[in-house]
Amino acid sequence: MMGRRSGDQPSFIYQFRLDERVPKDHLLRRIDGFVTAALADMHERLAPSYSEIGRPSVDPELMIRMLIVGYCYGLRSERRLTQEVELHLAYRWFCRLDLDDKVPHHSTFSENRLHRFRQSDVFRHIFERIVVACMTAGLVKGEGFAVDASVMEANASRYHGKAPDEIGWTDKQRQKRAVAEYLAAIEADAATKDDIPDDGDDGGPKNKPQHRSERQPPKVISPSDPQSAWTAKANKRVQFGYGLNYLIDIENAVIIDVEPTPARTYDEVESTKTMLDRTERRFNLKPKRLAADTAYGTGKFLGWLVKEKRITPHIPVRDASERDDGTFSRSDFRWDRRRGVYVCPNDKVLHTTGRVHDGTMLRYRASKYDCDVCALKMQCCPNMPARQVPRDIHEDARDVARRKMKTQAFAKSRDERKRVEMRFAHLKIHHGFERMRLRGLSGARDEFHLAAIVQNLKTLALRALGHPHPLPAAS
């Protein structure tokens, strides 16, 4: 017998509890306790940003909860987010909104994100509170870290790039936040260079960068987002982009730190130093080993990692010394550590004057008299009067990394390093995060912190057992 719905007259009184409509295993219910603990001191932290008089503002906790919902489900447009929260019962429950509560207007988010939230660095504060929650739940081992970067397309047209000296910034352009931030950074860099003391010998600054690995000024910038970098990394089309840098604990892929940079390899490698130092300072975490890809295998970075931080590098060494023309490569020359010289295949010694070239290299030279009578000259230096062998000033650290490359521990780290790459893939595929919405490095910082917050919350929801513990007061 076919059934039919009975009763066309709607009820005038409903008994409805929003809490009962949200499934017990819903993602938002599982992360709610951790979010509540992380936001416990937020009103106190934001209090200086609000006036003591006037009409009450929208609760900042409501806006932050809505933003977390947005980044969880790929709703990064505030206009779309407010529409979805208006309709979705689970979103309303998580945001502490009852059925008849009004959802904030989308323009409220822009004003708060660009002023109060950014000035108070509240997203960084929440991110660190979530990391502490992961540590409290036993998800952070602290023994092995991995680092990597992924390119996020900037909110800038790739067809409108110009050389920096071709742009005459108008007053209207200077009033835009991204441009003002870029010009302020240039002025700060210029002031820093002026403050570098003179060494009195050659009329130049004492610490002036002299080698190729230093950051070069960009050839093309975007007039709308000049801090983004013109890049074609990861086999993508040429575009303006930012580098999303993640430092993760390998054990459960918890994101320990996050840092935005222009999408340039030099800046991404340098950001690792910032993240490692900050992690040690903020969380008292210092890994025994760091896994990364070849981009991080420069002598300068390996030297800092091994000599200053005492961290074992599980990083492939960037090495272009092998020759494919049939002549001897640098590996054919034996390094005599005791005497500090190279010994050639014919047992002749190569010395150095000690002068550092390009800020990174020492040059070891053989005697012309030895090379002229050497039977191996055509295999060694057929087009030069004497053989030269370059040696990185951090070659000892590079040798440490080379030795680690032959171990089983390195092979394990190489596989575990994929977990940070999976973080990027998950963010782009499941969260729809491939293009920036905000401009400038400060905008990228806000977006990246929210993305890392959400990913760590999901890790907590999947792996943490029991109810979340109260977090200690943040410093």
Stronger pLDDT, 8 or 39, i.e. the higher one? 39
| pLDDT score for 203 | 37
Q: How far is CA 343 from CA 121, 337, 346, 397, in A?
A: 56, 11, 8, 20
Q: What is the pLDDT of residue 119?
A: 82
pTM of the model: 0.87
pLDDT of 404 over the 70 cut: yes
Model confidence at 214: pLDDT above 70? no
Which segments of 137-176 does DSSP mark as H helices, in order? 171-174
Q: CA–CA separation, 145 vs 161, rounded Å?
A: 37
- Whether 209 shows a pLDDT value over 50: the answer reads no
Residue 97's φ and ψ, nearest 5 degrees, are -105, 130
The percent of residues in the chain predicted with pLDDT above 90, rounded, is 62
Q: What is the pLDDT of residues 149-203, one digit of tens each?
A: 999 999 999 888 888 888 888 888 888 888 988 888 888 877 766 554 544 444 3
Q: What is the pLDDT of residues 51-75, one digit of tens each?
A: 777 777 888 899 999 999 999 999 9
Of 469 and 269, the structure prediction assigns the larger pLDDT to: 269
Helix or strand (DSSP H, E) at 231: strand 229-231
Residue 437: closest CA among 71, 164, 104: 71
Distance in angstroms (rounded) separating the CA atoms of residues 129 and 72? 18
> What pLDDT band is residue 14 in, cutting at 50, 70 and 90?
low
How far apart, in whole angstroms, are the C-alpha atoms of residue 347 and residue 353?
Answer: 20
Q: What is the pLDDT of residue 7?
A: 60
Give the long-range contacts of residues 182-186, CB within 8 A, separation 24 or more.
Answer: 182/226, 182/227, 182/440, 185/227, 185/441
What pLDDT was estimated at residue 325? 84
Rounded CA gap, 350 and 217, in Å?
37
Least confident of 9-18, 202-211, 356-365: 202-211
- Whether the CB-CB separation of 225 and 154 falls below 8 Å is answered with yes
Mean pLDDT, residues 82-95:
94
Say yes or no to pLDDT of 89 above 50.
Answer: yes
The reported pLDDT for the residue numbered 315 is 95
CB 311 within 8 A of CB 144: no
The residues with which 392 forms a beta bridge, in sequence order, are: 361
pLDDT the model gives residue 468: 52
Find out whether 315 and 341 touch, Cβ atoms under 8 Å.
no
Please tell me whether residue 143 adopts helix, strand or coil conformation. coil
**Closest to 458 in 3D by CA, of 68, 66, 36, 78:** 68
Written as six digits, the tokens of 128 are 């660190």
pLDDT of residue 205 exceeding 70, the answer is no
pLDDT of amino acid 125: 94
Of all residues in the chain, what percent carry a pLDDT higher than 70? 89
In contact, 419 and 253? CB cutoff 8 Å = yes
Q: At what angle do helices 122-136 and 60-72 cross, to 10 degrees?
A: 70
**Exposed (0-12), middle (13-18) or buried (19+): which is 159, by Cβ within 10 Å?**
exposed
Structure tokens at 65: 């909860």
**Amino acid 207: pLDDT:** 42
CB atoms within 10 A of CB 177: 14
Q: Is the pLDDT of residue 464 over 80?
A: no
Segment 402-420 mean pLDDT:
92
Domain boundaries, the chain: 18-50+57-120, 132-197+208-292+417-463
Q: What average pLDDT does this structure show over 27-43?
A: 92
- What is the mean predicted confidence (pLDDT) over 337-355? 93
User: What is the predicted pLDDT for the residue at 59?
Assistant: 87
Mean of pLDDT values over 359-373: 92
d(CA 346, CA 276) in angstroms, rounded, equals 45
Note the pLDDT of residue 107.
87
